[in-house]
Amino acid sequence: MPTIFTRIIEGELPGRFLWRDEFCVAFLSINPLQNGHALVVPLAEVDHWVDLAPEINTHLMEVAQVIASAQMKAFSPARVGLMIAGLEVPHVHIHLVPMNDLHDLDFANAETNPDATHLDESAVLLRQALRDAGATSVSD
């Protein structure tokens, strides 16, 4: 059975995509810890990040860095936190969370019913920041 992320990638479930290339996608979290919380997800269903092919791992980190730079521009946080937790969905995903405090990374604070308009606005801001930086794999 495909993971929820594969179902989003394949368009079976909606997603607010920021990035798509031949190896991965990035989209906004539906339960954001902070405004602009994004996930970088490989197309291939790999359960644990230590099992990723080294070249895919490298690519995911490169994309994460590009997305995080866009988050810095769009939201002006003190930092962008990066986490690979991997317990909630058996498909590798990198959390990128604009943050001003360590508590901003606490999953207990995730929004369970975020405003759709607010998520859409965040996606627009991030896509524009990516385009402004010259990214060529920006999703619409």
- Asked if residue 137 is part of any domain, the answer here is no
When pLDDT is cut at 50, 70 and 90, the band that residue 94 belongs to is very high
pLDDT of 136 above 90: yes
- Asked if residue 64 is part of any domain, the answer here is yes
**What's this model's pTM, rounded to 2 decimal places?**
0.96
Question: 42-77: string of b/e by CB count within 10 Å (b at 16+)?
Answer: bbeebeebeebeeebbebbeebbebbbebbbebbeb
- Asked if residue 101 is part of any domain, the answer here is no
- Asked if residue 140 is part of any domain, the answer here is no
- Asked if residue 99 is part of any domain, the answer here is no
What's the CATH number where 118 sits?
A: 3.30.428.10
Catalytic residues: 93
Partners of residue 41 on adjacent β-strands? 25
Q: How far apart are CA 28 and CA 13, in angstroms?
A: 13
Question: 22-34: string of b/e by CB count within 10 Å (b at 16+)?
Answer: ebbbbbbbbebbb
| Residue numbers of the domain that contains 29 | 4-94+111-132
- Asked if residue 124 is part of any domain, the answer here is yes
Asked if 29 and 39 touch (Cβ cutoff 8 Å), the reply is: yes
User: What phi and psi, each to the nearest 5 degrees, are found at residue 133?
Assistant: -85, 0
- Asked if residue 138 is part of any domain, the answer here is no
When pLDDT is cut at 50, 70 and 90, the band that residue 86 belongs to is confident
Q: How much is the pLDDT for 97?
A: 98
Q: What mean pLDDT is reported for the chain?
A: 96
- Asked if residue 85 is part of any domain, the answer here is yes
What is the total count of domains within the chain? Answer: 1
